[in-house]
């Protein structure tokens, strides 16, 4: 599908192919490739489903890659996008990631207090 999109210069087809390749890379345990595929599309078709898929993929990559603040951003965006009832199943996935993020943060030792700032 990616090759067809490139030959046809069809950004929508290329974006769908990249998201699919990101999902496959994620399932195969290759976080670096998954992130590359999720972030490569120059345009994302104007579709909630596509945008939600990209946010979910990046939320997973960031969460399990230790980039917790980035994961929080993608999770928050994803939950905000899942306002329609037909996206409840995706919202539950984001909520599960949010709970995992909270658990990871709770398990971390508190950051040392850097003390007063100097001017």
Summarize pLDDT for 22-68 with one digit per residue, the tens. 889 989 999 898 888 888 766 666 677 888 888 999 999 999 999 99
Domains held by the chain: number: 1
Residue 112 counted as domain residue: no
Stronger pLDDT, 77 or 21, i.e. the higher one:
77
Residue 77 counted as domain residue: yes
Exposed e or buried b per residue across 68-90, where buried means at least 16 C-beta atoms within 10 angstroms of its C-beta = eeebbebbebbbebbeeeebeeb
Residue 111 counted as domain residue: no
**φ and ψ of 65, to 5 deg:** -95, 5
**φ and ψ of 29, to 5 deg:** 85, 10
pLDDT of amino acid 86:
86
Q: In which domain, by residue range, is 33 found?
A: 2-104
Residue 20 counted as domain residue: yes
119 falls in which pLDDT band (50, 70, 90)? low
Q: Are 26 and 61 a contacting pair, CB within 8 Å?
A: yes
Residue 79 counted as domain residue: yes
Residue 114 counted as domain residue: no
């Amino acid at each position: 599908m990616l090759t067809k999109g490139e030959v046809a210069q069809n950004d929508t087809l290329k974006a769908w192919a990249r998201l699919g390749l990101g999902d496959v890379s994620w399932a195969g345990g290759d976080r670096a490739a998954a992130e590359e595929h999720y972030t490569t599309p120059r345009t994302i078709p104007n579709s909630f489903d596509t945008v939600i898929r990209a946010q979910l993929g990046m939320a997973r990559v960031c969460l399990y890659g230790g980039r917790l603040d980035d994961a929080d951003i993608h999770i928050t965006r994803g939950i905000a996008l899942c306002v329609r009832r037909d996206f409840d199943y995706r919202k539950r996935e984001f909520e599960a990631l949010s709970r995992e993020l909270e658990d990871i943060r709770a398990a971390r030792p508190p950051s040392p207090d850097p003390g007063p700032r100097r001017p």
